[in-house]
Structure 1
Amino acid sequence: MHLDPHLRFEALSALLGKKIKPFDEKNSYKNSPALSVDDFFIQLILTKQSSYAEEFFVDEKEFFDLQYDFDFTNLSDSAACMRGNEPYVRPKGWYRMALKVRGKYPDGDAWLGTNGWRSHSVSGEWPVSYHGTSLEGAKGIIRSHYKAGNRQIYGRGIYSAPNLHDAEIYSKTFTSTMGKTYKVIMQNRVNPGTRQINGNYWLIPVPEGTSAEEEKRIAESSIRPYGVLIKEI
């Protein structure tokens, strides 16, 4: 899959529901705020962290980690994999834009596992999950399944799906400036010590009355992004 440079930012814009532009020396943060990976993800999954601007800048060098990008579009290998002691089916048909998250958290990088191809889990690794909502929300179950809110089926909190096919129906669809149409969805790792398994979804509980600051702490210690998946349709 050929990844047009503008496609990265169009995918982020589709996920968040806000215009996201690349930052360079010609741009200024004065008029539009900058988004880190953490800021982007928190705005994506937490209702209380409502968007305070119509457009944002992203520093590509600080947001994406190009050395870990991976093209799954023509993947033929169907070997069984495990991540965080859970089955992991590699996202065949998708291209993963890796996020720059190594060294971001005080507890280290064990949650990501080790680099390179492997079929087995490693110590301290978190299992993989997916979601694709934005602050604008979506119709139906997605309103309660991927943002902290009050109408959850299994309880209040942050929901994601370990099976890409279950999450794909909630992916965001957009048409690029090149005229092609794509789906985009987030690829995350979930802390097995704090999740609850409910049917086809994993729940990170966020009790009613939790402050915005505490919601952010819960999210960062329980669910972390590491890739943006994109697929031409």
Structure 2
Amino acid sequence: MGKISACIFDLDGVVVDTAKYHYIAWKSLANELGFDFTEEDNERLKGVSRMRSLDILLEIGGVELDDKTKLELADKKNKNYVEYILKMTPDEILPGVKDFFNELKEQGIKIALGSASKNAMTILNQLELTDYFDAVVDGTHVSNAKPDPEVFLKGAELLGVSPSECIVFEDAEAGVEAAINGNMKCVGIGSPDVLGKANIVVPGFVGFSMAQLNF
């Protein structure tokens, strides 16, 4: 393995699981509109923008609305979601993440966040993790969605390191592709079936250490 100076983490599904809150917020919107929205339906929204997610939801319910109403509904869903995440506590950090962050700090390796979420700072504050991060790049800083590498390249730039010295931790296929497109190494968090393009795939951070990063 070459020199590693920085690790860049996606947020949802890597550091914390906020997917359940997105699901609850979308489901309550669907119920208000008079139809049900299952966890299986929710799989179709993974890694998809808010407006496109709403279109898929309306498609499932067979509902057609004008653009103004759609914007109002997307906003309503986000407000619901934010209410849920404002109740989050540090015990929702995924197992092993904090231990790994502490190991990185001890080894002098920089840590950045690379997330499409526009609520990333709120979540980090709720989890009391903000101080671990040397740089945070979220949905308010980027215009291109993954698999475009913009979010990770901005992270490397803010940390002052070259992309080839970064390892990205991702749980989504588009995120793994974004890392590869940015000339970065990648660790997939989840299933090898989905994340097979990553350099290595692990189920999570429990018992995981830098020693395993032997690319």
TM-score bracket for this pair, using the shorter chain length: under 0.3
Higher relative CO (CA 8 A, sep ≥ 6), structure 1 or 2?
A: 2
TM-score where L is the length of structure 1: 0.26
TM-score where L is the length of structure 2: 0.27
Choose 1 or 2 for highest CA Rg: 2
